[in-house]
Amino acid sequence: MKKLVFLFALLFSIENFAATNHFTLSYRDDPSSSIVIGWSGDNGIVHYGTTDFGITYNSYPNSKTVDRTATAHGINRNFARLTGLSPNSVYYFVVRDAGGTISARFKFKTLSDNPNDPVGFISGGDTRDGFKLFGAYIENCPSGNCLEQKRKGNRLVAKIRPDFVAFNGDFVMNQVTSNTNAEWNEWLNDWQLTISQDGRMYPMTFTQGNHEDNQDIYNFFDVPMEEYYALNINNGLLRLYMLNSELNPCTNTAQLNWISTDLQNHTNTLNPPTWKFIQYHVSTFAMGNGYGLVTDQMNCWVNLFEQYGVKLCMESHSHVTKWTLPCKKNTNGTDFVPDPEGIVYIGEGNWGAPHRTLDYTGTNRKPYIKDQEVFDNFFYVQVNPNQTTIQCVKFDGEENVTANTTDDLGKDLPSNAVLWNPANGNNIVISNQIGGLNQNTLSFSSVLPNPTKNYVKVKIENSVTSGTISIYNALGKEVLNQKFENTQEVKLDLEKMSTGTYYLFVKTDGKNSKIESHRIIKH
Ligand SMILES: [Fe+2]
């Protein structure tokens, strides 16, 4: 018995001692110059660089210690936040844990800092298992194994080599009746299937689903703002919003103010992003059975999206698949209607989760739905300055797909990927017709020096008598707000701000208030 206890103690200590696993990548800031490497288990040091030295850790020119540790559902997470990276570059890294054990050699690629470059990402959600009673599914997992379907999707990620994965919530069941710790452990293990054979890993963006606890995403992945955030993709090509549909869209004024301000600040300015896309978990009008319309989202979010020129919303939660024609909310906010100037909605979360049925078929079919069906899949979104192309990749047949090998940004899917090919075609193309909102004719302010170390001087044209200068970090959080009156030059002290990318907005007072934005870089 004593020997047995000793053996168990030894096994336990070995596991604690040597283990770094569950590797993940995420973004806290500009994806062209920063990344967060996350792992479970021991504390350690990331050794990295743009040359591949395999697992010879001390040959890598750079190293980074852990910036933050967190615990969620019994799992220790470590996060090293890498900054100052070169854009559009492949980086190699290993993690050397506190006991000296070296991880496998991984690699990742930073995004571009040029808005004319393309980007290609996977959008999908709902990876949870189906509910079981006495070991048998009581939800519809037609393959006989929801989790195995999810793994097919994960293996497809490794073959597609996307620039990143926009994950839309509902990771695991997380119910009173389930072993949540084991489920998360399994989810993180299964995520390792997304790593390509050459060690390439793919960063994720996250939204919170209804099966996550409040701090789960923050503690598992080190996202920047805990509940919602936004990212600049390719420095002006795409502003990508991660909204939290678990917070009431109308009464949670913190989120509502944040998204309104950020959308406004990225519209009708000198440097508006070419595209604005939004990701959130619960579908605003779900086609999946029993879900239907979320009135608060329709009332308090969709107006803003339409007003500020959002072109694509990515949704999940009801476990069916749809893509819409461009559409707008109808006059009384009870539904959408097709409108060429409107927004395309894709969803609704079929990354392995149990299948549901479609509510609106036959004569009840919604006129703005382009196609709808139920099967396991995610979407692949290729964004270019002039158009965005969306395809839907089926998980079945994954084993026969030939893996991509290139690290080019915005690459095409493998030629033999199995695409959804419904009645109305196997892709959606959204054209970018720059409308009035994006015209860049204003120029009443300038900012120097830029890049800068400690301060900037904002020069304002004589015709402007008063207004407000505000500075936002790359995630849309206001870090400075200052009024000006009867002055043509305002000096702002930036000494206390951390290094990185910021957006400075000059807004004039008065009835015909104008706003201009300047991207500033602090070294
Ligand atoms: Fe959900």
Q: How far is the CA of 282 from the centre of ligand 1 (A)?
A: 6
For the chain, give the percent of residues with pLDDT over 90. 80
Residue 269 pLDDT: 82
Residue 440 pLDDT: 42
pLDDT for 119 beyond 80: yes
Give me the residues paired with residue 353 across strands: none
Mean pLDDT of the chain: 92
Q: How far is the CA of 141 from the centre of ligand 1 (A)?
A: 16
In-domain check, residue 114: no
**Which residues, 6+ apart, have CB-to-CB distance to 139 below 8 Å?**
130, 131, 146, 354
pLDDT for 11 beyond 60: no
pLDDT for 439 beyond 50: no
For the chain, give the percent of residues with pLDDT over 70. 94
In-domain check, residue 280: yes
Using only C-alpha atoms, what is the Rg of the chain? Answer: 24
pLDDT band at 512 (very low <50, low <70, confident <90, very high): confident
Query: Mean pLDDT over residues 443-456, rounded?
Result: 85
Q: How far is the CA of 226 from the centre of ligand 1 (A)?
A: 19
Q: Which residue has the tokens 């196997």?
A: 426
Q: Give the tens place of pLDDT for each residue, 205-238.
A: 999 999 999 999 999 999 998 899 999 999 999 9
Region class of 11: left (phi > 0), else alpha (psi between -120 and 50), else beta: alpha
> Does 81 share its domain with 202?
no
Q: How far is the CA of 125 from the centre of ligand 1 (A)?
A: 9
Residue 5 pLDDT: 46
Q: How far is the CA of 5 from the centre of ligand 1 (A)?
A: 43
Query: Mean pLDDT over residues 30-59, rounded?
Result: 97
Domain end among 109, 141, 167: 109
- 494: CATH: 2.60.40.3080
Q: Which domain holds residue 36?
A: 18-109
- 61: CATH: 2.60.40.380
In-domain check, residue 425: yes
**Which residues, 6+ apart, have CB-to-CB distance to 87 below 8 Å?**
32, 33, 110, 111, 112, 113, 114, 235
> Does 403 share its domain with 473?
no
> Does 415 share its domain with 455?
no
Q: Give the tens place of pLDDT for each residue, 240-267.
A: 999 999 999 999 999 999 999 999 999 8
pLDDT band at 7 (very low <50, low <70, confident <90, very high): very low
> Does 92 share its domain with 147?
no
In-domain check, residue 406: yes
Query: How many domains, in total, are found in the chain?
Result: 3
Sheet holding 68-72, edge to edge: 68-72, 75-82, 35-41, 20-26, 204-206, 164-167, 119-124, 377-383, 387-394, 428-431
> Does 327 share its domain with 470?
no
pLDDT band at 517 (very low <50, low <70, confident <90, very high): confident
Q: How far is the CA of 207 from the centre of ligand 1 (A)?
A: 11
In-domain check, residue 1: no
Q: How far is the CA of 511 from the centre of ligand 1 (A)?
A: 44
Give me the residues paired with residue 77 across strands: 40, 70
Least confident interval from 170-179, 370-379, 467-476 = 467-476
Residue 226 pLDDT: 85
Q: How far is the CA of 211 from the centre of ligand 1 (A)?
A: 6
Q: How far is the CA of 405 from the centre of ligand 1 (A)?
A: 34
CB 171 within 8 A of CB 217: no
In-domain check, residue 31: yes
pLDDT band at 271 (very low <50, low <70, confident <90, very high): confident
Q: How far is the CA of 210 from the centre of ligand 1 (A)?
A: 5
- 140: CATH: 3.60.21.10
> Does 370 share its domain with 510?
no
> Does 134 share its domain with 230?
yes
Q: How far is the CA of 316 from the centre of ligand 1 (A)?
A: 7
> Does 397 share its domain with 417?
yes
> Does 423 share its domain with 479?
no
Read off the pTM: 0.87
- The DSSP secondary structure of 176-229, one letter per residue, reads TTS-HHHHHHHHHHHHGGGS-TT-B---EEE---TTS-TTHHHHHH--SSSS-E
Q: How far is the CA of 206 from the centre of ligand 1 (A)?
A: 13
Domain end among 417, 436, 455: 436
Residues with CB under 5 A from ligand 1 (ion): 170, 209-210, 317
> Does 360 share its domain with 230?
yes
In-domain check, residue 8: no
Q: How far is the CA of 170 from the centre of ligand 1 (A)?
A: 5
Q: How far is the CA of 216 from the centre of ligand 1 (A)?
A: 15
Query: Mean pLDDT over residues 98-121, rounded?
Result: 97
> Does 101 share its domain with 178?
no
CB 274 within 8 A of CB 239: no
pLDDT for 97 beyond 90: yes
> Does 327 share its domain with 241?
yes
In-domain check, residue 9: no
Domain end among 73, 89, 109: 109
pLDDT band at 198 (very low <50, low <70, confident <90, very high): very high
Residue 16 pLDDT: 43
What whole-number distance in Å separates Cα of residue 162 and Cα of residue 407?
9
Query: Mean pLDDT over residues 284-302, rounded?
Result: 96
Residue 442 pLDDT: 54
